[in-house]
Amino acid sequence: MFDITCDHCGRILIGLDRITSMHPTDEGLRVAYVCWCGRAGAEVTSRARRARLAPAPAPAPDHEHAIA
């Protein structure tokens, strides 16, 4: 299971079969998924990201580079 923050569902667990791709980035492993509700999204999993960002709605995938 993998925990994500869906804009529609909030914090939620999804199964690995919902993950569509994974690849490493400068900030950590970027995991793309499709939520139970059908919404596609992506999360970057790393301690640095979790420490730097306050709890807030997940940014849209296209906005990840604007955060840094």
* Cβ nearer to Zn ion, comparing 38 with 55: 38
* Cβ nearer to Zn ion, comparing 39 with 65: 39
Residue 51 Cβ vs Zn ion, minimum distance, rounded to whole Å: 25
Please state the separation of Cα 43 from the chain's center in Å: 2
Residue 52 Cβ vs Zn ion, minimum distance, rounded to whole Å: 24
- Residue 20: how many CB atoms within 10 A of its CB? 12
What are the CA-CA distances from residue 18 to residues 3, 29, 53, 60 (Å)?
11, 16, 24, 18
Binding site for Zn ion (CB under 5 A): 6, 8-9, 35, 37, 39
